[in-house]
Chain A
């Protein structure tokens, strides 16, 4: 699948943003975060900024961004529509929450609602990909948990980064380390899963001509690239993918694990950069069944 920069930026930034809003909404009412108003407002604004930047970025890949409001209507069937609705709902408590920071007791229920809506939005994002059967690397049981874990881990790292400046207890950074370890394990398991070829198909499967023997593409219908091949026929060399996996693991997970206890802000930046690579690979390594008709294997 073509790794469109707008979508990669969107899922990485909004994932971290919703992760921050989740931890803020959950932990602040429990009194587990610095109570300074400056911290509450800064952290909330950073979370909202990441989310808003991501959502704005995602509209860039639309053919008609001015019609984006229509995407709120089909939540009964469409995970993309559900994501839009959830994102819109999540704004309300998230925007009100920092205003209520000074009245901690009133902020409690609102915080929990904010945490729940933020998590729901990330679930919708993950399900957009996990529900697509033609792409075996996405229609995979690890995809949704990884979207959630990446969001919680990167959001936790960002919040720990902000909290450093208010002399917060180190335990949020420690919790993010644990999440990073779990997320890394899930990612490694995911790579093993897709490398095992589960759900892989051949041109014989796609054409139903397997009874005749091996099916090879003789002539494609089009001599030049077309939309289908540009959008869904992206290919990455195996050796490049292998190196980028190492970069994603080191920068996105190992570096934050090492740095979080000492310099949380740097760890958060490393996590975000590494997750950008991880998200790029998520697209670049995904193969679509349409390419089978062009003689490739998925």
Chain B
């Protein structure tokens, strides 16, 4: 079971646009909302109404400041399971509870056979797995398998909850195994990249980098020669010595 299935054609995943993400956390909230009654329900919260609330989330939005001074920029960075092609979280599982589906590449946990050893969460470089201390089993993003294949909801809603709710359309869902899919074309066009590719996990999800923008140019100071008043020109020369 924990052996990774031979690579299939289909690789469902997300493309996250770091240029357009506004950091509103709606994806994280809608993920929590849907999944707390979805496939891996519930997503427990502890001390939810106390000073230090904690809980299991499948999606968390970081924010960073990158660059220096006037050229620095704020980048919002949603982080969730990347449904890797070489998921060590699956191969380290001693029970076969963690598995990667051959048909679409989605990585899931079987809560009935998970022994809660937490080794998979150690093996994931991206922090995609969070332990449910209430149920004693590991939980993770399911890519909303209970939405994307759900024939009881309108076809336009059959996308992961995070994608459906994103007000900036910074999240895209599709088949990254098909080079002609909309998401694959988007990745090619925007030079989408993998997180920490050197680790060899081959993430399916891609991140689109913030678009380049012109460097900050400070407004030019008026040249002294353009000052008409000779007295002021003399003051300037005197002070510049």
Contact = CB atoms under 8 A, between A and B. Distances in A.
B68 A214 contact: yes
Nearest to B91: A77
A80 B117 contact: yes
B117 A231 contact: no
A64 B137 contact: yes
B1 to A, nearest CB: 7
Contacts of A78: 2, 91-94, 119
B110 to A, nearest CB: 10
Interface in A74-104: 74, 76-81, 84
A79 to B, nearest CB: 7
B207 interface: yes
Interface stretch (A113-121, A132-140, A159-167, A248-256): A132-140
Interface stretch (A36-44, A150-158, A203-211, A260-268): A203-211
B115 A70 contact: yes
Interface in B44-94: 52-57, 60-68, 71-75, 77, 79, 88, 90-94
B65 A218 contact: yes
Interface string B1-29: 11100000000000000100000010010
Contacts of B63: 217-219
Interface residues of B, number: 68
A193 interface: no
Interface stretch (A16-24, A25-33, A47-55, A287-295): A287-295
B122 interface: yes
Contacts of B132: 63
Contact of A231 (B28, B65, B91, B121): B121
Nearest to A1: B122
A246 B28 CA distance: 45
A174 B175 CA distance: 64
Nearest to A220: B62
Interface residues of A, number: 59
A272 interface: no
A293 to B, nearest CB: 6
Given A78-B2, A224-B54, A132 B123 contact: yes
A148 B1 CA distance: 30
Interface in A195-238: 201, 203-209, 211-222, 224-228, 231-232
27 contacts: A62-B116, A63-B116, A63-B118, A63-B138, A67-B95, A70-B94, A71-B117, A73-B96, A74-B1, A74-B94, A74-B95, A78-B119, A79-B92, A134-B123, A204-B66, A212-B67, A213-B71, A216-B64, A218-B64, A220-B62, A221-B57, A231-B118, A231-B121, A289-B196, A293-B127, A294-B62, A295-B64
Interface of B: 1-3, 18, 25, 28, 52-57, 60-68, 71-75, 77, 79, 88, 90-97, 113-119, 121-127, 130-133, 135-138, 193-196, 199-200, 207, 209-210
Given A70-B97, A134-B125, A217-B64, 9 more contacts: A63-B117, A63-B137, A68-B115, A133-B200, A203-B64, A213-B71, A221-B60, A228-B121, A293-B62
**4 closest residue pairs by CB, A with B:** A63-B116, A63-B136, A290-B127, A213-B67
Interface of A: 1, 61-65, 67-68, 70-74, 76-81, 84, 128, 131-135, 201, 203-209, 211-222, 224-228, 231-232, 288-290, 293-295
